[in-house]
Amino acid sequence: MILKNIVKKNTYQDSVFLMSIAHRVKSLEGIEEVSCLMGTPENKKLLAEVNLLTKEGEEAKPNDLLIAISARDKRAIEKTLKEIKKLLAEKEVRKKEGEAILPKSLGSALDQLPGANLVHISISGRYVRWEAEKALERGLNLFIFSDNVPVEDELELKKIARKKNLLAMGPDCGTAIINGVALGFANVVRRGDIGIVAAAGTGLQEVSVLIHKAGLGISQGIGTGGRDLSKEIGGITMLQGIKALENDLDTRIIVLISKPPAKEVADRIIKEVKRSKKPFVVNFLGTRPERESKKIYFASTLEETAYKAVALRKKKAYKSKVFSEKKERIISLAKKESSKLKERQKYIRGLFSGGTLCDEAMLILKDLIGDIYSNLPLKPFLKLKDSRLSQENSLVDLGDDEFTKGRPHPMIDFTLRNERIIQEAADPRTAAILLDIVLGYGAHPHPANVLSPALKEAKKRGVSIVASLCGTEDDPQDYKRQKRELEKMGAIIMPSNAQAARFAALVVRRGKT
């Protein structure tokens, strides 16, 4: 393989646009890896960590475009550079033909939209505090999509926001639905009177989608960022979100969702909830539910959370179900899947794009099949020695910071997950591969199409593919089409993440409940 770095002086490009270019040219013949980044010290460090930085690349400055290519030969490199040049030129042509000129600063953005009251921040984590503080000084609420933001910066920003009676959603806030407008990754769901505050991006997506499918809708979906209920942050944004929804006349029921929280913070939140006049459904993953009352209901899965909220709104009793379909049919289907397995195929390998969905699946599976290894385990001794290599039953969150440095999120770019599907299928001990496939704004436009080669390879090896499909019929990807195409490839599509995890367990247990 040949490694080459090309530096284009003073050629600024948006990071998301550069990632899309790299993704498009990576499939060219003879290419092993391509990265298109601005030449910041942080980006050069990332390239060095994956052995893609040369002496030429080290000379790049922050305003320089840095292209790194690892290829079979010089001809492949030349072909790739030609394609990159073409894609860059196409963007310039669109600008000349009237493409809107995007503002390059917060001030110029406010000049174009003086009535704005929220800023969406998606920049390198090291620069977030500087830009966010400027926004707060101007009286703007924050939606911080950026990850890798120091926890001390998050705490300071949230303290400032609280003092100014503003919301700081994030950092690492993947999803919000504010006044019907989707921010980050979010699905097309109807408006309604169930409000959600979530320290869990895909948790908010899963619950809002299930509420939509049950015929109801969302008033507001407030994201907090995954660390909000940590001991360091103390639930600042969730407490503000609760207050906001309590005062919102369009919200009748409030749902709270979080990845496993710090106990003292969870206790503080529940104490606040007990003072409220509105009914709550609370799902703090991994915590033991308290005794329910007429105002506070607890749930252990995202599906249960959604359906308890729906039952409350419809003033009906909640009925618990392990599977949506009849037990006999589910067991029959699991036995059919497991009949294709060899004796040594006995492990589940989960490859997730949503951290909350990964956490939920681990919590469900530990009671059904035992210990689950992970890059973000439920217990420290179950941490994978190498996140790139599974052992026994393993679930990996491919959306974690360690996998997203220098590359798009796995909801956008399926390259890493496809490679991992093929890797897991090649392991003779793998019985089932468990996936979450998330639709909606920001996600890949056609997941079934891009997953096809990897899933077909896995099915050739006799591995069962079990997936949840989080989306609605109004999402851009067309939920029914995605489901139909995935099922044609032999994938078992379940209506929720919880049911997908339970079904995967049934497969490895050969249909035994």
Q: 24 or 74: whose pLDDT is higher?
A: 74
Tell me how far apart the alpha carbons of residues 177 and 439 are, in angstroms, rounded to a whole number.
15
Q: Say whether pLDDT at 169 is over 90.
A: yes
Check residue 409 and give its pLDDT.
86
Tell me how far apart the alpha carbons of residues 31 and 439 are, in angstroms, rounded to a whole number.
29
Tell me how far apart the alpha carbons of residues 305 and 492 are, in angstroms, rounded to a whole number.
23
Close Cβ partners of 463 (under 8 Å, ≥ 6 residues apart): 345, 424, 425, 430, 431, 432, 433
Percent of the chain exceeding pLDDT 70 equals: 97
Single-letter code of the amino acid located at 288: R
| Beta strand residue intervals within 359-412, DSSP E | 373-374, 394-397
Check residue 184 and give its pLDDT.
93
Give the pLDDT confidence of 126-163 residue by residue, as tens digits. Answer: 889 999 999 999 999 999 998 889 999 999 999 999 99
Check residue 92 and give its pLDDT.
54
Check residue 101 and give its pLDDT.
59
**Binning pLDDT at 50, 70 and 90, where does residue 280 land?**
very high
Check residue 513 and give its pLDDT.
83
Between 70-74, 93-97, 282-286, the lowest mean confidence (pLDDT) is in 93-97
Tell me how far apart the alpha carbons of residues 111 and 174 are, in angstroms, rounded to a whole number.
27
Q: Say whether pLDDT at 93 is over 70.
A: no
Rounded to two decimals, the pTM is 0.85
Distances (CA, A) of 266 to 156, 284, 467: 21, 8, 31
Q: Which two tokens stand for residue 124?
A: 């390198």
Q: Which two tokens stand for residue 96?
A: 């000349």
Check residue 489 and give its pLDDT.
95
Close Cβ partners of 197 (under 8 Å, ≥ 6 residues apart): 222, 224, 237, 238, 241, 242, 245, 254, 255, 256, 257
Q: Which domains does the chain have, with CATH numbers?
A: 2-96 (3.30.70), 173-314 (3.40.50.261), 327-508 (3.40.50.261)
Check residue 304 and give its pLDDT.
97
Secondary structure element (H or E) that encloses residue 466, with its range: strand 464-470
Please state whether 279 falls in left (phi above 0), alpha (psi between -120 and 50) or beta: beta
Give the pLDDT confidence of 378-434 residue by residue, as tens digits. Answer: 999 999 999 999 999 999 999 988 887 767 789 988 989 999 999 999 999 999 999
- DSSP 8-state symbol, 41: H
Task: Round to the nearest angstrom and report the end-to-end CA distance of the chain.
Answer: 50
Find the angle CA(254)-CA(261)-CA(295) to the nearest 5 degrees. Answer: 30
**Binning pLDDT at 50, 70 and 90, where does residue 97 land?**
very low
Q: Say whether pLDDT at 27 is over 70.
A: yes
Distances (CA, A) of 429 to 105, 208, 323, 345: 53, 36, 27, 4
Check residue 342 and give its pLDDT.
95
| Beta strand residue intervals within 338-391, DSSP E | 347-352, 373-374
The pLDDT mean for the chain works out to: 92
Give the pLDDT confidence of 172-226 residue by residue, as tens digits. Answer: 999 999 999 999 999 999 999 999 999 999 999 999 999 999 999 999 999 999 9
